[in-house]
């Protein structure tokens, strides 16, 4: 069970959180201007890297805030968590 | 078998405390500190067990968790269907029976082991209380916890909390470790979060494959030594030791010192560090020799040894102690993705150093094991008599058969032979199997390693995992409405909707469900009924941008909803599929209350918050779950208005003053109420939203006021029938996440002119526009008495074609309709709306039932009844 550091509440067990998939995927400004293929790309296609990637979590059984995290998909290591709207730390 | 106690040995034993236990119905003597296995060996019994498949006689083989032969059922003082005899410590009143590798649960209740669950946080957790584990614990700072699966840890470090009889069952991410402590009457399940985990779990000795290596009397050399050191049991008087490494030689020396006559058979050509020492002590050591067979009937009486020149001799022996090498016990770390590498000198697989930074592997677990001569299988003799996996009765020949069948990966061989799928999880068989496969394929030793290992490290009773979280309350929360006691008192039969208990129907006298539901439906259609609708999800949405926000969440417009009005809405996922439905009530310009389905409330709340926090952070909107802050008494039927009036209200109920899809904040029966004109039945209805404190009072007032009309409480089953008669969908029953509003015939609720909303773009994807999509329609069986099963498949022709048959769709809802006096069904059917009026066939068993496709609105299609 991961130990996840909520940017608002601190380190808590994974069971308190809900997973939210890939981070930094902005909802398109004008979905109707996108082709079917472009919309499908936004809707269905996600990166699947081996290594570090940015993902979203929500502290469901705590403050209920969404936040972002960098996690290593190969080792499960939580590299860093940061608040919604912030850029990933360099 | 001539096992006996010897003086001066047995450091785990308390000889001052004899303990008697029952084994297969007879009394066996032991001492406190003994295991069932050690006590049996001390009393001269090594056999007494049987293998599960070939029913071959077997004996105690190991001294710990790797035991593959000696299993017992524990029937007192607690019940456990199966456990290795090596892992059952003697307690007063213990009763065990031998089992052939398979546990059986009795029919009735049993006294299962319960565990209390507890949490611990430490800087360092050391798993394993051997020399290296104790040293690591002594050097660690902060809170230190040391656990060991055995009942005794010698010289526990003073700076550590030491838990004995405690097995680390799994290591998970970020230093999360589960430990199961079986110590006395109350078991404990420790959930440990450790800053650093030190794995000092030692190594397991592995056997060698030769003819008759499963005979009672053959055991691991480490086990023979452990029985002597821990329990003071000398397992045999004449012991042959077949050893490929110096630890086996050391065991031989210890057994000789305790009084046994010992011969060592060593496959190595070179003398090792122990050879001369043993010879000097008068122990015969035969180099470059192999045991090629065991003799006995069935228990061991001797072994046949082949010398370097091929000459065979027989050594009389009542025990053959085998040491084929050492496998570091690294199983606990395998789940963390660590790697193994082959060490040629030690002829085993060792940790390659990879893994999370918080994990340290030390001692024998890290590969600090004796060098070993690389021998796996003795070539002489019939491979069908050389056992690889004792607990599955699998031999070298069985492995060869799997490889001959084309399998080259040890994981595949495991699944073909079931080697390693055992209670001991292949501890004695895993590496041996991999090396036999390597050899059969002509690959070098170590070309592939053993199969993966997964938690739990050793079997854990489900009752211990459940702990105290069992029984009707703690298994899962039960949610009840404030009117629940009344439902109980009126014989409600409940259905579970999520965690909620909802009355399904209220039988009277001897009524069955069909009769009760028919009566309840009749009451609503002809007079008046009342439903406890408190479980509806409710979300309070406030803020200056609430209207804009809801416009984006629902397919229709909510921002232009007048204060005091109600609008039905559909919510879609971004993929355009129906996600939930409900109504929005506008309380004020900046305040709405949205209802959701009973089961969807939490999901909708999550969805609202997700969009507000992650996409539309500029919107000033706050959402609060108010599901349990509002109870709902739904009064419906032609006499509904009179009932609410009689219950007493200051609202003007006249239709012109209080039209459909509006609400009034007023009083009912003297308490504040939000009265909503919403209808899920098609009848004139008033939903009375009140504080939970007043819910029972208002329900009682409604029942009293309705008495002259025979007011009838109804449950979810009647509600389902009544809404199906009107063709109203239930999200989750008519939908499965693949239906658009258009599929449900609800294109009217999609406002494409209002700007973007969640799911809008997806509704015009090419797949959404196909004309063969499944659409919601009615289905009427030609026989009006036939009620189709929900889920029934629908096909075009009466004759069932050869598979694969083309399915046109399936029935989503099906009932007997009291109002129509016949059966009705809703179904999702390919291009269904085009088929209205046409024949369709329902597959029922091996036959078909003729039906016709119909409009999904069966009753009062003009909607004349909703205003009373």
Average pLDDT over every residue of B664-689: 97
Lowest-confidence region among B7-11, B71-75, B321-325, B604-608: B7-11
- Residue B154 binned pLDDT confidence (cut-offs 50, 70, 90): very high
Q: Would you state the pLDDT for residue B476? A: 80
Which chain B residues touch A26 with a CB distance below 8 Å?
615
Between B473 and A5, the more confident residue is A5
pLDDT at B1 over 60: no
pLDDT per position as a tens digit, B34-64: 999 999 999 998 888 999 999 999 999 999 9
Q: Using alpha carbons, select from B175, B214, B218, B201 the residue that is nearest to residue B65.
A: B201
Looking at the complex, report in whole angstroms how far the Cα of residue B455 sits from the nearest Cα belonging to chain A. Answer: 13
Fold classified for B770-868: Elongation Factor Tu (Ef-tu); domain 3 (2.40.30)
Which chain A residues touch B193 with a CB distance below 8 Å?
3, 13
- C-alpha to C-alpha distance for B652 and B666, rounded to whole angstroms: 9
Q: Would you state the pLDDT for residue B184? A: 67
Fold match between domain B113-204+327-373 and domain B205-326: yes
Q: Would you state the pLDDT for residue B41? A: 96
Q: Using CB atoms within 10 Å of the CB of residue B636, give its burial: 0 to 12 exposed, 13 to 18 middle, 19+ buried.
A: buried
pTM of the model: 0.88
Closest partner residue to A84 among B172, B356, B614, by Cβ? B614
pLDDT per position as a tens digit, B722-731: 999 999 999 9
Q: In 10 A of CB B441, how many CB atoms?
A: 13
One DSSP character per residue, B639-669 reads THHHHHHHH-BSS---TTTS-TTBEEEEEET
Average pLDDT over every residue of B123-150: 97
- C-alpha to C-alpha distance for B86 and B83, rounded to whole angstroms: 8
pLDDT at B232 over 70: yes
Superfamily (CATH) of domain B484-534+630-722? Probable tRNA modification gtpase trme; domain 1 (3.30.1360.120)
Which chain B residues touch A14 with a CB distance below 8 Å?
173
pLDDT per position as a tens digit, B279-336: 999 999 999 999 999 999 999 999 999 998 889 999 999 999 999 999 999 999 998 8
Please report, for residues A17, A56, A63, B603, B628, the alpha-carbon distance to residue A60 in angstroms, rounded to integers and kept in the order given. Answer: 5, 12, 7, 11, 19
Q: What is the CATH number of domain B537-629?
A: 3.30.70.1400
CA B104, chain centre distance (Å): 20
- Residue B461 binned pLDDT confidence (cut-offs 50, 70, 90): confident
Average pLDDT over every residue of B580-593: 98
- Under a CB-based contact definition with an 8 Å cutoff, are residues B413 and B403 in contact? yes
- Residue B471 binned pLDDT confidence (cut-offs 50, 70, 90): confident
B176–A contact, CB cutoff 8 A? yes
Average pLDDT over every residue of A63-70: 96
Q: Using alpha carbons, select from B632, B718, B711 the residue that is nearest to residue B675.
A: B632
Average pLDDT over every residue of B826-841: 97
Q: What are φ and ψ of residue B74, in 5° steps?
A: -100, 120
pLDDT at B126 over 60: yes
Distance separating the N- and C-terminal Cα atoms of chain B: 93
pLDDT per position as a tens digit, B498-523: 999 999 999 999 999 999 999 999 99
Strand partners, B504: none
Domain boundaries, chain A: 3-83
Q: Would you state the pLDDT for residue B678? A: 95
State whether A20 and B176 contact (CB < 8 Å). no
Domain boundaries, chain B: 4-99, 113-204+327-373, 205-326, 484-534+630-722, 537-629, 770-868
B759–A contact, CB cutoff 8 A? no
Residue B399 sits at the vertex; the CA angle it makes with B319 and B98, to the nearest 5 degrees, is: 45
Classify domain B205-326 at the CATH class level.
alpha beta
- Residue B185 binned pLDDT confidence (cut-offs 50, 70, 90): low
Chain A interface test: which of B613, B754, B767 (most A C-beta within 10 Å): B613
State whether A65 and B175 contact (CB < 8 Å). no
pLDDT at B99 over 80: yes
pLDDT per position as a tens digit, B810-822: 999 999 999 999 9
pLDDT at B337 over 90: no
Mean pLDDT value across chain B: 95
Average pLDDT over every residue of B569-587: 97
Superfamily (CATH) of domain B113-204+327-373? FAD/NAD(P)-binding domain (3.50.50.60)
Chain B interface test: which of A65, A77, A80 (most B C-beta within 10 Å): A77
State whether A43 and B760 contact (CB < 8 Å). no
Classify domain B4-99 at the CATH class level.
alpha beta
Q: What is the CATH number of domain A3-83?
A: 3.30.2270.10
State whether A36 and B614 contact (CB < 8 Å). no
Shortest CA distance from B764: residue in chain A: A36
Q: Would you state the pLDDT for residue B550? A: 98
Share of chain A above pLDDT 90, in %: 90
């Amino acid at each position: 069970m991961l130990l996840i550091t909520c940017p608002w509440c601190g380190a808590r067990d994974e069971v308190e959180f809900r997973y939210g998939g890939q981070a930094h995927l902005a909802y398109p400004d004008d979905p109707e201007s996108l082709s079917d293929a472009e919309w499908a790309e936004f809707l269905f296609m996600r990166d699947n890297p081996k290594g570090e990637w940015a993902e979203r979590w929500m502290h469901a059984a705590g403050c209920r805030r969404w936040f972002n995290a960098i996690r290593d998909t190969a080792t499960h290591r939580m590299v860093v968590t940061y608040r919604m709207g912030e850029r990933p730390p360099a | 078998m001539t096992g006996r106690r010897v003086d001066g040995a047995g450091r785990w034993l308390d000889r001052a405390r004899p303990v008697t236990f029952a084994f297969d119905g007879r009394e066996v003597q032991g001492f406190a500190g003994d295991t069932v296995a050690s006590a049996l060996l001390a009393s001269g019994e090594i056999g007494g067990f049987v293998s599960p498949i070939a029913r071959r006689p077997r004996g105690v083989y190991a001294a710990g968790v790797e035991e593959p032969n000696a299993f017992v059922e524990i029937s007192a003082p607690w019940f456990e269907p199966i456990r290795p005899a090596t892992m059952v410590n003697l307690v007063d009143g213990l009763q065990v029976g031998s089992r052939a590798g398979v546990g059986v649960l009795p029919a009735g209740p049993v006294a299962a082991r319960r565990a209390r669950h507890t949490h611990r946080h430490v800087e360092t957790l050391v798993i394993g209380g051997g020399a290296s584990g104790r040293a690591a614990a002594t050097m660690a700072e902060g809170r230190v916890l040391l656990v060991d699966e055995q009942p005794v840890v010698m010289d526990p470090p003073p700076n550590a909390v030491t838990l004995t009889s405690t097995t680390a069952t799994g290591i998970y991410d970020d230093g999360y470790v589960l430990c199961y402590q079986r110590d006395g009457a109350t078991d404990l399940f420790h959930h440990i979060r450790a800053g650093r985990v030190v794995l000092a779990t030692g190594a397991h000795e592995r056997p060698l494959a030769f003819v008759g290596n499963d005979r009672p009397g053959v055991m691991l050399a480490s086990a023979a030594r452990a029985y002597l050191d821990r329990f003071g049991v000398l397992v045999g008087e004449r012991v042959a030791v077949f050893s490929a490494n110096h630890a086996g030689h050391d065991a031989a020396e210890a057994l000789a010192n305790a009084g046994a006559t010992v011969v060592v058979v060593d496959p190595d050509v070179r003398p090792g560090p122990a050879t001369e020492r043993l010879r000097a002590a008068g122990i015969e050591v035969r180099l470059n020799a192999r045991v090629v067979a065991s003799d006995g009937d069935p228990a061991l009486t001797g072994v046949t040894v082949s010398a370097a020149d091929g000459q065979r001799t027989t050594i009389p022996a009542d025990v053959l102690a085998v040491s084929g090498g050492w496998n570091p016990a690294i199983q606990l770390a395998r789940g963390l993705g660590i790697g193994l590498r082959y060490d040629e000198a030690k002829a085993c697989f060792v940790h390659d150093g990879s893994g999370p930074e918080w994990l340290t592997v030390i001692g024998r677990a890290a590969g600090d094991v004796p060098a070993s001569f690389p021998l796996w299988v003795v070539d002489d003799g019939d491979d069908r008599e050389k056992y690889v996996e004792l607990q599955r009765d699998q031999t070298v020949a069985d492995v060869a058969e799997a490889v001959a069948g084309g399998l080259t990966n040890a994981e595949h061989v495991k699944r073909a032979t079931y080697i390693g799928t055992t209670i001991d999880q292949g501890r004695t068989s895993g590496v041996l199997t991999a090396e036999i496969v390597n050899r059969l394929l002509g690959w070098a030793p170590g070309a592939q390693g053993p199969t993966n290992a997964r938690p739990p490290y050793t079997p854990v009773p489900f009752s211990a995992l459940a702990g105290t979280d069992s029984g009707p309350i703690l298994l899962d929360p039960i949610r009840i409405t404030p009117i629940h006691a009344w439902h109980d008192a009126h014989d409600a039969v409940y259905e579970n909707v999520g965690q909620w208990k909802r009355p399904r129907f209220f039988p009277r006298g001897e009524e069955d469900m069909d009769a009760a539901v028919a009566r309840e439906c009749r009451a609503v259609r002809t007079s008046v009924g009342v439903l406890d609708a408190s479980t509806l999800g409710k979300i309070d949405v406030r803020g200056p941008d609430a209207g804009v926000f809801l416009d984006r969440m629902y397919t229709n417009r909510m921002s232009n909803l007048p204060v005091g009005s109600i609008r039905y809405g559909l919510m879609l996922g971004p993929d355009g599929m129906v996600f939930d439905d409900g109504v929005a009530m506008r309380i004020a310009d900046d305040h709405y209350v949205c209802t959701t389905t009973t089961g969807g409330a939490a999901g909708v709340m999550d969805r609202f918050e997700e969009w507000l926090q992650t996409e539309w952070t500029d919107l000033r909107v706050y959402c609060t779950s108010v599901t349990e802050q509002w109870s709902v008494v739904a009064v419906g039927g032609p006499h509904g208005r009179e009932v609410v009036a009689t219950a007493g209200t200051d609202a003007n109920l006249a239709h012109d003053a209080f039209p459909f899809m509006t609400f009034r904040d007023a009083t009912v029966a003297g308490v504040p109420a939000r009265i909503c004109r919403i209808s899920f039945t098609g009848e004139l209805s008033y939903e009375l939203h009140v504080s939970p404190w007043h819910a029972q009072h208002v329900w009682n007032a409604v029942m009293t006021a309705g008495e002259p009309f025979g007011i009838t409480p109804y449950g979810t089953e009647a509600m389902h029938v009544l809404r199906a008669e009107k063709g109203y969908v239930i999200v989750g029953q008519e939908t499965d996440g693949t239906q658009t509003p258009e599929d449900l015939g609800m294109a009217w609720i999609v406002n494409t002119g209002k700007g973007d909303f969640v799911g809008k773009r997806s509704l015009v994807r090419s797949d959404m526009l196909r004309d063969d999509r499944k659409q919601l329609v009615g289905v009427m069986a030609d026989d009006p008495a036939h009620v189709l099963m929900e889920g029934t498949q629908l096909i075009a022709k009466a004759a069932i074609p050869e598979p694969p048959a083309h399915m046109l769709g399936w029935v989503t809802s099906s009932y007997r309709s009291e109002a129509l006096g016949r059966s009705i069904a809703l179904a999702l059917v390919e291009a269904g709306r085009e088929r209205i009026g046409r024949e369709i066939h329902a597959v029922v068993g091996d036959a078909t039932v003729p039906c016709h496709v119909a409009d999904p609105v069966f009753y009062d299609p003009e909607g004349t009844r909703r205003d009373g």
